[in-house]
Structure 1
Amino acid sequence: MIPFASLADKRMAEKIAQEGRSQNIYIEIKNVNNEYILEVDKEENIEIATDIYRVMMGLPKQFTPSKEWSEIAAVPMGFATKAIIVFCIAVYALDALKIMPELYSVMKFSSDPKLGLNEIVQGQFWRAITPIFLHFGLMHILFNMLWMKDLGKLVEVERSSNFLLLFILVVGSISNFSQYLISGPNFGGMSGVVYGLLGYLWMYKRFNKESKYSLPKSDVILMVGWFFLCLMGVFVFSIANMAHALGLSLGMFAGIFYGQYDTGRTDMKNSLLFTSLAILFSGLTLGVELFKLSQIQ
């Protein structure tokens, strides 16, 4: 017999054992110094028995990660993914601790809305990409870094560190520029790149079934749902919707291309379908953002 829980209430222990029997799970009760130890007969029944115990005690069932996330969790972070995360945290900490109070101004797309693109044109090229490293609050950076950790390492292990860095550079710069055109230079965050990585992995697995890793459908739905909630203005905080949209679209384009390139097979029907969907994400977002601007003016 294998112990899986204990409690002091004999009557509750008997109820749990009875519920187990109703589900064809044999649970035995042992009294050890007035503590009732619950034991199950087979190892494969531990999870079900534990859920019975938790529900009877008024607790939620155990969270069991999906097969996809179990595989993702086993993938080690590569150098590029670690470097990006460490750099974002360092930039956030330097600003939050007031060690380098001018840092965000130097890294924004433009230090002054009146200057437009002049600073970049005159040689401050880093401003095209550095807004992705700026975060405006603990939850902002925590959310982005957790997704970066999981999505970034998958792209890095399947392709290479150089590919991931180039992907971040291209997607980050284009999504930054699109957001600047809509809202001006006061924005930041890795979320545009995160949506790019999501779009890439989502499409790559769809067009390359032999790909080792895939994202759970529930998480893709969650992130796309979050995208639309942000777009519809459900939240009171400022959100870089255009960066999200361009990032997602560019990632989908890349996933469609590399998924077919790596397999040597062309799926014209699905290519047109998902390319159209990617364009729709950006087109719809542009329309909504322009409408919001017209309402302000």
Structure 2
Amino acid sequence: MIVIGEIQNPRACQAFSDYLLLQKIEHKVVVDQSSQRLQILVNPEQQVKASELFEEFVNNPNQDKYLQASWQTGAVLKGGKSNLGLMAIWQSGGTLTKLITLVCLLIFAASYFGFFRSIFQQLSFQWSVSEFYRILTPAFMHLSLMHLVFNLCWWWYLGGKVEKHLGSNQLLQILLFTALISNVSQAILANTNFAGLSGVTYGLAGFVWMIGRRTQSNDLFLPNNIFIFLVGWMILGFAEVLPINMANWAHLAGLLTGIGIALLATKKDNNKKATD
């Protein structure tokens, strides 16, 4: 397929995509990894017509016909024929962000379809030299759909930020360190019956928040209100006023680990700048 143009605004791109559907032009919307803009691709035999329509849209994107197209294609979009939406979100993710998301989804699906006991026996926390990996693997298990969705949303948002701006290696380091320290802390200070990626997501929250404060970055930061919400949620967990059980020590250990990694990273950068 051939790229006929790029659109930055997702809503505008959706409107044009709807209009192309009405014009019976097969197309696909993808995210350009370098510019993070949405690209519209069409088949070569429809390129001329699609390019003319794109030029018309760019010159006057507020025409009523584009809004009407969105209404008229509503049923089609519900049927899953739009390539924007979830597909564009998925394509915007980094390699490691996607990989961990898939691992968590597959483990949860296997647990849901009758393999929970065997999975828990193989992946739950265990003090064992021969099965050392079980210090990390509880992070990839989830005990309910809400638990899974909550953690993966934060993972995609925070992990995606880190991978996009600092690379997969930095994200992998944070993942391993925060999973290790949060899981061990929960096992020592509470018990070994826990699961979930929340220790890692709290670590990412601490890392991104501190990086933003130390570097004043406009790209990699976490707003204070979101950080306060996460800390407040953790405090409620320790206070045991919520109707759910939470791995509170894993959350706290993950948060402090993430902040610590950010402090070390920014200190190293400052020292390097001072010697240059």
Amino acid at match of 2:103: F
Q: 1:177 — aligned with what? A: 184
Using the aligned pairs only, state the percent identity.
Answer: 34
**Is residue 227 of structure 1 aligned with residue 234 of structure 2?**
yes
Amino acid at match of 1:256: L
**Is residue 96 of structure 1 aligned with residue 109 of structure 2?**
no
Q: 1:29 — aligned with what? A: none
Contact kept? 1:75, 1:154, Cα under 8 Å: no
Contact kept? 1:88, 1:134, Cα under 8 Å: yes
Map residues 134-153 of structure 1 onto 2, 5 A cutoff.
134-153=141-160
Q: What is the rounded CA distance, in whole Å, between the counterparts of 2:90 and 2:119 in structure 1?
A: 36
Q: What is the rounded CA distance, in whole Å, between the counterparts of 1:75 and 1:211 in structure 2?
A: 23
How has the CA–CA distance of structure 1 residues 264 and 145 changed in structure 2, closer, same or farther, with 3 Å as cutoff?
Answer: same
Q: What is the rounded CA distance, in whole Å, between the counterparts of 2:158 and 2:217 in structure 1?
A: 18
Moved more, 214-223 or 194-203: 214-223
Map residues 248-259 of structure 1 onto 2, 5 A cutoff.
248-259=255-266
Q: 1:82 — aligned with what? A: 98
Q: Select which of 189, 196, 199 maps to 1:189.
A: 196
Report the secondary structure of 2:220's partner residue: coil
Moved more, 144-153 or 219-228: 219-228
Amino acid at match of 1:217: N
Report the secondary structure of 2:93's partner residue: coil
Q: What is the rounded CA distance, in whole Å, between the counterparts of 1:141 and 1:107 in structure 2?
A: 16
Amino acid at match of 1:96: Y
- Please report the TM-score for the alignment, with normalisation by the length of structure 2: 0.63
TM-fit CA distance, 1:246: 0.5
Contact kept? 2:211, 2:220, Cα under 8 Å: no
Q: What is the rounded CA distance, in whole Å, between the counterparts of 1:103 and 1:244 in structure 2?
A: 23
Q: 1:34 — aligned with what? A: none
**Is residue 131 of structure 1 aligned with residue 108 of structure 2?**
no
- Please report the TM-score for the alignment, with normalisation by the length of structure 1: 0.59
- Could you tell me which runs of 5 or more consecutive residues in structure 1 were left unpaired when the two chains were aligned: 1-72, 111-116, 267-297
Amino acid at match of 1:242: W
Corresponding residue pairs, total = 186
Q: What is the rounded CA distance, in whole Å, between the counterparts of 2:117 and 2:100 in structure 1?
A: 21
- Could you tell me which runs of 5 or more consecutive residues in structure 2 were left unpaired when the two chains were aligned: 1-88
Amino acid at match of 1:172: A
Moved more, 94-103 or 81-90: 94-103
How has the CA–CA distance of structure 1 residues 180 and 211 changed in structure 2, closer, same or farther, with 3 Å as cutoff?
Answer: same
TM-fit CA distance, 1:218: 1.5
Q: What is the rounded CA distance, in whole Å, between the counterparts of 2:90 and 2:107 in structure 1?
A: 28
Q: What is the rounded CA distance, in whole Å, between the counterparts of 1:235 and 1:265 in structure 2?
A: 46
Amino acid at match of 2:234: F
Q: Select which of 222, 243, 249 maps to 1:242.
A: 249
Report the secondary structure of 1:97's partner residue: helix
Radius of gyration: which is bigger? Answer: 1
Q: After TM superposition, which residue ranges in structure 1, 4 or more long, deviate above 4 angstroms?
A: 263-266
How has the CA–CA distance of structure 1 residues 210 and 137 changed in structure 2, closer, same or farther, with 3 Å as cutoff?
Answer: closer
TM-fit CA distance, 1:212: 2.2
Contact kept? 2:185, 2:253, Cα under 8 Å: yes
TM-fit CA distance, 1:166: 2.1
Q: What is the rounded CA distance, in whole Å, between the counterparts of 2:219 and 2:90 in structure 1?
A: 12
